[in-house]
Structure 1
């Protein structure tokens, strides 16, 4: 890859715990945020002094859009949280791998203690000919980019 070339955003993989998630169409909402703490003080000369400093890191959510297929591992993980209310066993570490044109992993994004907090099924219509997709919102406690 030449210097200055960007990675393509359509080449990625996602691992949930011990298995690779298939047929993922989109991952959105990858953000790393931090609170901003603002302190206002008055100097000895009476001037207002405003200082900003980093606060606590925020947790986040991502949304995964994928085709509805016969794969059960990802669906079973969603059910563990949404249906069985078994959050202790449902918490998983997720790794999103960004790949270059040769399918080599060039960057990893790790989400710690992730669990499914929302599921949205496909829009169904008698006249539609598009594929059925589902969206799953994943809540996580920490994000690390390497």
Structure 2
């Protein structure tokens, strides 16, 4: 890969704890944020001084969209929190790996202590001819980029 070539956004893998999610259509919401702390003071001459500094890192959420299929590993994990209310066993570390054209990992995004906080099923209708997809909101406590 030459300098300046960017990674393709359609070649990626999601690893959830000990297993790889078989099929994924879309991942959105990958953000790394930090609070901004603003301090306002007045100098001895009456001049307003505004200073900004970094605060705490923010936790976040991602949204995963995937076609509904007979695979149960991802669905079982979602049920741990949303149905069984077992957050202790549901918390998993998730790795999203971006791949190059040779299917080699070129960048990793790690989400720590992630769990499913929302599930949305497919839109069903007799006149629909599209595929059935599910959307899962995953909440995490920390994000690191390698």
TM-score of the aligned structures, taking structure 1 as reference length? 0.99
Aligned to 2:84: 84
Secondary structure at 1:24 match in 2: coil
Deviations 1:85-144 (A, max 9, x none): 000000000000011111110000000000000000000111111110000000000000
Deviations 1:22-58 (A, max 9, x none): 1100000000000000000011111000000000000
Aligned to 2:56: 56
Unaligned ranges ≥5, structure 2 = none
CA distance in 2, matches of 1:130, 1:22: 20
Aligned to 1:73: 73
TM-score of the aligned structures, taking structure 2 as reference length? 0.99
When the two structures are aligned, how many residues end up with a matched partner? 146
Matched, 1:98 2:98: yes
Aligned to 1:25: 25
Alpha-carbon RMSD across the aligned residues, in angstroms, is 0.5
Aligned to 2:112: 112
Unaligned ranges ≥5, structure 1 = none
CA distance in 2, matches of 1:101, 1:63: 25
Aligned to 1:42: 42
CA distance in 2, matches of 1:9, 1:109: 13
